[in-house]
Each structure stands twice: as structure tokens, then as C-alpha cells.
Amino acid sequence: MKLHLWRRYKFCASHRLHSAQLGEEENRRVYGKCNNPYGHGHNYVVEVAVSGPADSSTGMIANLADLDAFVEREVIEPFDHKYLNEEIAEFQENIPTTENICIEIFNRLRRFSLAKLERVRVEETGLNSFEYAGEPAGVAHER
């Protein structure tokens, strides 16, 4: 019996999609409105799945209080009400597309020690979402 416990979190943040490898016009063409130099924001939703056996004394894969505190510290507190491009070190080089945000959140949460991180799903809006479950063992993610 395999169990995945999913927990849903929210944060609000701004970003700008702009690639230093592309010219001004190319950036506008590729990213459209998302290239607005002042940035813009979203209400992001993050769903986190962890797995493991349900502990026989608590019936739980992981205590939600522990998972919530970890996600709050690693992701929500640093990301919420921030300008991701400027205030998250990883996005000073990587473009904060929701793909990259999803991978970054996964990499931060994989250090959770009380259950196995299975998957991260991020909704940028209610109309688009991205999922990342890590790379197969031995394959580092190239960005």
C-alpha cells in the first residue's frame, strides 16, 4: 500500500520573465506581457506530496505541524510578498518561470527528513500548473 500525503500552501509574489541571453525585442516577443520591466504578481498555490508508511501510533505519514513548519520556513516565508527575481538568490540567474519555481521549491523541500518528498505542483494561476518529481537517481538537474 503506497500513500501520498498532499498539503496545499499559498504565497503571493511578483516576478519578471527576462533572459539576459536574449535581446530586448526578443525578450518582448518570447515573454510578452511577462517581460514588463516593473514585474507583475501572482497568487501562487503550492501542493506538496510526501510519502511513507502511516506511523502505527499516530496514523500519520508525517505530522502536519512538522511539515507545515518546514514548508513555511523553507518556502513560504522567503517567497511570500517578495519580488522573486531580486530577493531569491537562485532567481538572480535562473528565470523565475513557474517551471523553475517548481524545481526550486522541490530542491528546498527534499531536505525534509520526516517523510520522502514525492512531488511538487505549483499553480501560477488557476489556469496553469506545473509538477516536478525530481530526476531519476544519479541524474542532476541541469539548469
Partner 1 sequence: MVYLTRKLEFSASHLYHNPAFSAEENRRVFGKCNNPHGHGHNYVLEVTVAGEPDPATGMVLDLKELKEILQREVSDRMDHRFLNYEVPELSGQIPTCENIATVIWRLLDPKITSGHLHRVRLYETPDLFVDCYGESIGAQAGEGDAR
For binding to partner 1 (CB under 8 A), which residues are involved?
1-9, 49, 54, 57-61, 63-65
Contact 6, 56 (CB under 8 A): no
- Is 141 marked active-site? no
Min CB(80)–partner 1 separation in Å: 16
Min CB(56)–partner 1 separation in Å: 9
Our CB check for partner 1 shows the closer of 66 and 99 to be: 66
Residue 64: exposure state from Cβ atoms within 10 A (0-12, 13-18, ≥19): exposed
Min CB(4)–partner 1 separation in Å: 4
Q: What span, in angstroms and rounded, lies between the C-alpha atoms of 35 and 31?
A: 5
Count how many residues are written for the chain. Answer: 143
